[in-house]
Amino acid sequence: MTSTDQRYGLARSVTLPGPLRLDGGVLLSPVDIAYETYGTLDPDGGNAILICHALTGDQHVASNHPVTGKPGWWTRMVGPGKPIDPARDFIVCANVLGSCMGSSGPASVNPATGRPWGMAFPVITIRDMVRTQAMLLDHLGVGILKSVVGGSMGGMQALSWPATFPDRVRAIVVIASTARHTAQNIAFHEVGRQAVMADPKWRGGDYYGIGGEATDPPAAGLAVARMAAHITYLSEAGLTEKFGRKLQARETKTFGFDADFQIESYLRHQGIAFVDRFDANSYLYITRAMDYFDLAEEHGGQLARAFRTSKARFCLVSFDTDWLYPTAESRAIVHALNAAGAPVSFVELSSPFGHDAFLLESPELNRVVDGFLKART
């Protein structure tokens, strides 16, 4: 490994011996971490920014996805001239523990058996993901982070950072996120998990070949799970604006069960495209981690206590049409930060696009993040 590699978007992975003690009590060893870095770490190590990805995201934040060939998932925020800029920042983005893009997860090989873990992989938490990121930063020689930035589940990790490693991060950006999963959040995830598990091809999670490849995965169940989740990422108004009751190319209803409405074929496409790039068991594990997430519960039931020893300043952003993690959830975090005496700025942005807004073109979001990261403390 060279720490000053000049290629833009350097995909790497590292196997660390661990063991990593997980919240569930299991000792995980070894720990594979797949990650990308952009830019160069300053000699004083002061320019490192960790970006945390969402449920189905990955380390390819600003470089092409190796499976789909599509541009990185946050090139609007990360790249030359963007708020997070490799010319200035040393940017690290790691595939979360439990995922399927190279980090340890249910498709990884269980050293005890020599075969893929499947459902024998230990259940993980958001905090376990954060601990894994800290192990990677140790490996990269990064001590204190300039900032941790994340949207959605990435925001959960960003929030968990100052609670877990209060001395290692100076600024936190939390976008379209929450400090705990509500009953409705859990309910939608449970529907998705049940859809996967109802697929006979799931086989109790044991659908991998020797190397963890899945030639006949529970694609139908995972597609249904993705479709249900996708509805929660979009606003009702956005759906109406984009699709309304518009029919497919044909002009009249078919009086059949083909996708008559554009929203139907859009959702079916979302489901089908997803299964090509994501592992069903990883979907189970990561949704579980999100449902378990309750930062207050980890700190005696008081969210403010999670930030008691934090030395970071915070930036919270919500979107007015996000009904998955509505503004009220961000506001609850802000109140807790206020109670803890932590510096925090908070803005609710207007967007027709619901939860997905954090991934879309948003000059306001870029201005907020840019201003926050550049501010002198």
Asked whether position 105 contacts its own copies by CB under 8 A, the answer is no
Q: Is 199 a catalytic residue?
A: no
Query: In the complex, what is the shortest distance from the CB of residue 333 to its own copies, in angstroms, rounded to a whole number?
Result: 16
Q: Is 230 a catalytic residue?
A: no
DSSP for 210-259, written as a single string:
TTS--SS--HHHHHHHHHHHHHHHS-HHHHHHHTTT-B-SSSS--SSSS-
Burial class of 16 by CB neighbour count within 10 A (0 to 12, 13 to 18, 19+): middle
Query: In the complex, what is the shortest distance from the CB of residue 53 to its own copies, in angstroms, rounded to a whole number?
Result: 23
Which residue type, as a one-letter code, is found at position 172? Answer: I
Q: Is 127 in contact with 298 (CB distance < 8 Å)? A: yes
Query: In the complex, what is the shortest distance from the CB of residue 215 to its own copies, in angstroms, rounded to a whole number?
Result: 18
Q: Point out which span in 51-59, 87-95, 185-193, 365-373 binds its own copies (CB under 8 A).
A: 185-193
Asked whether position 231 contacts its own copies by CB under 8 A, the answer is yes
User: Of 152, 177, 235, 318, which one is the catalytic site residue?
Assistant: 152
Asked whether position 98 contacts its own copies by CB under 8 A, the answer is no
Asked whether position 217 contacts its own copies by CB under 8 A, the answer is no
Q: Is 65 a catalytic residue?
A: no
Query: In the complex, what is the shortest distance from the CB of residue 184 to its own copies, in angstroms, rounded to a whole number?
Result: 5
Closest alpha carbon to 97 in 35, 159, 151, 187: 35
Phi, psi for 372 (deg, rounded to 5): -65, -45
122, 151, 155, 162: residue in contact with its own copies (rule CB under 8 A) = 122
Query: In the complex, what is the shortest distance from the CB of residue 264 to its own copies, in angstroms, rounded to a whole number?
Result: 5
Question: How far apart, in whole angstroms, are the C-alpha atoms of residue 176 and residue 182?
Answer: 14
| H-type alpha helices, the chain | 126-140, 153-164, 183-198, 219-233, 236-242, 262-275, 280-292, 303-306, 327-340, 363-374
Q: Point out which span in 43-51, 131-139, 240-248, 298-306 binds its own copies (CB under 8 A).
A: 240-248
Please list, residue by residue across 165-191, b when 16 or more beta carbons sit within 10 angstroms of its beta carbon and e when fewer do. beebbbbbbbbbbbbbbeeebeebbee
Asked whether position 23 contacts its own copies by CB under 8 A, the answer is yes
Task: Return the number of the residue (130 or 172) whose C-beta is nearest its own copies.
Answer: 130
Binding site residues, its own copies, CB under 8 A: 23-25, 119, 122-123, 180-184, 186-188, 190-191, 193-195, 197-200, 220-221, 223-224, 227-228, 231, 234, 236, 239-240, 242-245, 253, 255-257, 259, 261, 263-264, 267-268, 271, 284, 288, 291-292, 294, 297
